[in-house]
Structure formats: structure tokens, C-alpha cells
């Protein structure tokens, strides 16, 4: 893993933005894996800004998101479909057929998971996967204990993840108990991975990622075995006060 240290959230977002722009410019058929949560918000605003300045186009890009809540309709304000439309998709030159997210409201979730894997494979696998990290080391929604061999699957969200994400919902009761997530094996097949870590609340998770053992108890630890991972971390995440 290559560690890039930056001063703050702003710098982390700008650095990630330029890595993604470079990837899009250098790839013939760029396939981006995208994450949600607070971490990539400014990265997405930066991409929108660069698009508006004519510095990047998403014309040939395919996108696959990591995860989606089960039980929320696409237009629900808390769905990741809605998040992505609001934070990125509606503001750049991406057509609906270029965008992919798991369908958390589908009649047959298992079938949807299998179809999602096939779509990723048909696209030629993910070229650059953006990741955040959960407080308990989750990547996507792969909670501690998830087999490293997992593919896109339905997951039970841990109480700590539901608590951490309750800030986006009216209350913890409204946070779904399940989600669909790309599996750990699916994520590991990405050619390049870009992990973004900001803020002191992530310091413990980052420390374990950089120094701990590779174990299913801490899903992000598998990234230590991937040949091309860049971790961009800010000072607060690196040096807890």
C-alpha cells in the first residue's frame, strides 16, 4: 500500500480528484467503482467543478457503486441512488446506462446480487475503486467477519454501522438493517484502489489498517495484499489528538 499524507480533508479530496481525472484520461474504457458516505463528498464536488471547467468528461466512463441499503426506493432521500444523483451524477455528462448501483428494492435480492457481479465482469472489471473505511474496518458494507471470498451479497448491518450512519436519517430506527454490498473478493479484483481516510474518528481504523494483521475481523486489512492501493490520509486521521 502506498500512503499519501495530506494536511486536511480539502487536500485529500483534491488529490483524489486529480488521480481520478488522470485515470479517466489515460484509460480507453474507464470503469470507476464509487463509494458513498461523508468521505467522498468533496471529491465529487471537485469532479463536478473540473467537468464544468471542461477539464474532464465522463462520456466514456462506466460507474459501479459499492453498496445500497435494502428496503429504500431509489428516490428515497437516504438511498445511495439518491446520494449519487445529488452529489455527482446529475451534474456531469453521465447517461443512465453508464451508471450502476445495486437495487436494494428489488423483488429478488439474491438474483440482483448475481446480476450485479455479471455486469461488473462484462464491463471488464473495475479499473479504479474509490473506498472509504468504516469505524470497524468495513469496506463497502462488508462488516467484520465477512469472508474474504465474498462476492456481491446481502449483509446485515452491525449496530455500530447503523449508529454511525444514523446521522443521515431522522433516527436510528429508520436506518435499514440490511444492505447489498459488493463483496470483498469483488472489491479486490479492482485493478487500482484508492482509499480515502479523513478525521480523527478514523485514526484507530487507519492505524489498524496500516499496522495490524490481515484478518476477516477487520475487512479493510485485506487491502494490504492488493498490488495497487493508494491510501490518502489527512493529518487528523494519522495523528489522533
List of residues contacting ligand GLP (CB under 6 A): 35-39, 66-67, 132, 134, 140-141, 161, 165
Residue with Cβ nearer ligand GLP (37 or 60): 37
Distance in Å, CB of 99 to ligand GLP, minimum? 17
100 is catalytic: no
Running DSSP on this structure, what letter comes out for residue 139?
Answer: B
Distance in Å, CB of 67 to ligand GLP, minimum? 5
67 is catalytic: yes
Catalytic residue among 65, 68, 112, 136: 136
Residues 6+ apart with CB under 8 A from 183: 140, 142, 146, 149, 150, 151, 152, 153
Catalytic residue among 138, 142, 153, 234: 138
Residue with Cβ nearer ligand GLP (36 or 146): 36
Distance in Å, CB of 57 to ligand GLP, minimum? 26
Residue with Cβ nearer ligand GLP (57 or 117): 117
Indicate the burial class of 171 (C-beta count within 10 angstroms; 0-12, 13-18, 19 or more): exposed
β 128-131/99-100 pair status? unpaired
Residue with Cβ nearer ligand GLP (44 or 51): 44
User: Nearest to ligand GLP by Cβ — which residue?
Assistant: 132
> Can you list the alpha helix ranges (DSSP code H) found in the chain?
9-26, 41-52, 80-87, 109-122, 159-165, 184-188, 203-211, 235-238
Distance in Å, CB of 179 to ligand GLP, minimum? 7
8 is catalytic: no
Alpha-carbon gap, residue 230 to 149, rounded angstroms: 22
Distance in Å, CB of 134 to ligand GLP, minimum? 4
138 is catalytic: yes
Alpha-carbon gap, residue 56 to 58, rounded angstroms: 7
Alpha-carbon gap, residue 89 to 85, rounded angstroms: 4
Indicate the burial class of 65 (C-beta count within 10 angstroms; 0-12, 13-18, 19 or more): buried
Residue with Cβ nearer ligand GLP (57 or 144): 144
Catalytic residue among 67, 68, 112, 189: 67
Residues 6+ apart with CB under 8 A from 220: 131, 133, 137, 138, 139, 195, 205, 209
Catalytic residue among 68, 103, 143, 234: 143
Catalytic residue annotation: 67, 136, 138, 143
Amino acid at each position: 500500500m502506498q500512503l499519501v499524507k495530506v494536511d486536511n480533508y480539502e487536500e485529500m479530496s483534491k488529490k483524489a480528484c486529480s488521480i481520478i481525472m488522470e485515470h479517466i484520461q489515460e484509460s480507453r474504457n474507464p470503469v470507476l467503482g464509487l463509494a458513498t458516505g461523508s468521505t467522498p463528498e468533496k471529491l465529487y464536488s471537485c469532479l463536478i467543478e473540473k467537468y464544468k471547467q471542461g477539464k474532464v468528461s465522463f462520456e466514456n466512463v462506466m460507474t459501479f457503486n459499492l453498496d445500497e441499503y435494502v428496503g429504500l426506493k431509489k428516490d428515497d432521500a437516504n438511498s445511495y441512488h439518491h446520494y449519487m444523483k445529488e452529489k455527482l451524477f446529475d451534474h456531469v455528462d453521465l447517461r443512465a446506462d453508464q451508471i450502476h448501483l445495486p437495487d436494494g428494492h428489488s423483488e429478488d435480492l439474491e438474483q440482483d446480487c448475481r446480476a450485479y457481479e455479471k455486469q461488473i465482469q462484462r464491463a471488464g472489471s473495475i479499473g479504479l475503486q474509490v473506498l472509504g473505511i468504516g469505524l470497524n474496518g468495513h469496506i463497502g458494507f462488508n462488516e467484520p467477519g465477512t469472508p474474504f471470498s465474498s462476492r456481491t451479497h446481502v449483509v446485515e448491518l452491525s449496530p455500530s454501522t447503523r449508529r454511525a450512519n444514523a446521522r443521515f436519517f431522522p433516527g436510528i430506527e429508520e436506518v435499514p438493517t440490511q444492505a447489498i454490498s459488493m463483496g470483498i473478493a469483488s472489491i479486490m479484483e479492482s485493478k487500482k484502489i484508492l482509499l480515502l481516510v479523513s478525521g480523527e474518528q478514523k485514526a484507530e481504523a487507519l492505524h489498524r489498517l496500516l499496522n495490524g494483521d490481515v484478518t476477516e475481523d477487520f475487512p479493510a486489512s485485506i487491502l494490504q495484499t492488493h498490488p495497487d492501493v493508494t491510501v490518502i490520509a489527512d493529518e487528523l486521521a494519522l495523528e489522533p489528538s
